[in-house]
Amino acid sequence: MIPRVGGRAAASALALAAALAGLAAAAQGCTQADTVAVLPGVGAIDAGPAAPACVADGALLLLDPAGAPLCTGAQAEAAFAHALCACAELTTSDAFAADAFDSASGPYDIPQASGDVAVNGDVQANGSLDVRGALTSAGAGGIRFEDRLAVDGPLRGGGVLEAAAGRVEVTGDAELAAAITLAALRVDGRLRLPESAALQVSEAPELGALERADVSVAPPCACAEAERIDVAGEVAAFAASGAHDDALLGLTPASLSDASGAVALELPCGRFLFDRIQVDDGGLTVRVAGTAALLVASDITVAGDLRIELLPGGALDLLIAGNLNVSGALNIGDVVEPARTRVYLGGVGAINLNAPGLLGAHLYAPQTDLALGGGAELFGGVFVNRLLTSGPVAIHHDTRVRRSSSACPTSP
């Protein structure tokens, strides 16, 4: 269930827009300076003052698919509880690490043990796994890895735990639904294992306690159709309300449907809507100067690089009803404050980050496979269908996102 703010809006588009505007008027005003949109053949466009719908601390009001007011901060807090949520599998070809930090206390430095990893399916790791937080895998195929598995928290698995030459260290409790086959095992807490499941460890296992009892692991990520955020529905509801602020940029929802050359937008506080964004022979740069929501009713397709930059005081919720297709490098957000950039995809597809790029954001794409090249370092968090890596990968979860609802305006 996605958190909502305020009561139900009326059925008509005009009533929906009025209800949304009423809630937004209760919010604190934005104080960003005028900004510009730069388009090929058009030049600089004075964006004018910020929209009255803004609040000062990183959250805006949109509409859920049923037309009820929806706070972007509350939605982010509900969506990004983990460093990684995978609806299908986690498959790695090398070392994988997840940890956490709180950007409210400064940039990533000393890793914290809140980098939880949750997988509805199996985990297949052709290398070490280092999780500074809880690790949950609900797949019946289990957790299979090479070398070493370290979990700084609880471990829960719906299948086997297998690595003939592998070593496992768990600082919390461990619950496995099937056999354990390892070279070494240390569980500081309690190990729970069914009576029928073999415990085969070459070295004597070090256990806080052993309990023989049935284990059942429910899928930890909300991936069923009824559970997923309906990104396309949210975009459609907002489009129907007509409450967008495109006029601040001197644009309309159709302005970026067939762009060419280098395209640059600088967004003030406000809610901006485009039918689609297509840049055929250049790159797209979006600079965010205030609290902004950018909604796209179809796909974003960029022939060159896509760069989304946060200026001081900027925060962005990017909702794409379809897919994100970028031929060049993908640079999104800010590694110092990843919680202030949230990207939601409603389409079914794949994103390949093998090219040089940067992710300092939280990505919600439960029907999209994410492929990461070797050496990828992600700041924020990811909620995807499956994660596949082709080299060492690290995810640093910004736990500040778990308090995003604190920025939500209160309803009158």
Listed residues 158, 184, 212: the one ending a domain: 212
Report which of 108, 139, 161, 116 is spatially closest to residue 339, judged by C-alpha positions. Answer: 108
**Separation of alpha carbons 386 and 369, rounded Å:** 5
282 is written with which tokens?
């250049």
pLDDT of residue 276: 97
The structural domain count of the chain equals 2
252 within domain boundaries: yes
Positive or negative, the Cα torsion across 69, 340, 374, 123? negative
pLDDT band at 4 (very low <50, low <70, confident <90, very high): very low
- Whether residues 36 and 116 share a domain: the answer is no
CB neighbour burial string for 64-79, b if at least 16 within 10 angstroms, e if fewer: bbebbbbbbbbbbbbb
- Whether residues 163 and 205 share a domain: the answer is yes
- Whether residues 168 and 300 share a domain: the answer is no
Q: Counting every residue, how long is the chain?
A: 412
412 within domain boundaries: no
**Separation of alpha carbons 49 and 88, rounded Å:** 45
Domain residue limits at 146 = 97-212
335 within domain boundaries: yes
- Whether residues 379 and 291 share a domain: the answer is yes
Number of H helices, E strands in the chain: 3, 34
pLDDT in tens, 202-251: 999 999 999 999 999 999 999 999 999 999 999 999 999 999 999 999 99
pLDDT of residue 46: 38
* Cα atoms in the Cβ-side hemisphere of radius 13 Å centred on 246: 17
- Whether residues 266 and 314 share a domain: the answer is yes
Does residue 137 surpass a pLDDT of 60? Answer: yes
Residue that wins the pLDDT comparison between 375 and 299: 299
pLDDT in tens, 47-61: 445 555 665 568 999
- Whether residues 402 and 264 share a domain: the answer is yes
Please answer whether residues 166 and 144 qualify as being in contact, where contact means their C-beta atoms are separated by less than 8 angstroms.
no
- Whether residues 133 and 194 share a domain: the answer is yes
7 within domain boundaries: no
pLDDT of residue 7: 33
pLDDT of residue 69: 95
pLDDT in tens, 16-33: 333 334 333 333 334 333
Listed residues 212, 246, 266: the one ending a domain: 212
- Whether residues 205 and 352 share a domain: the answer is no
- Whether residues 291 and 207 share a domain: the answer is no
- Whether residues 170 and 237 share a domain: the answer is no
pLDDT of residue 49: 53
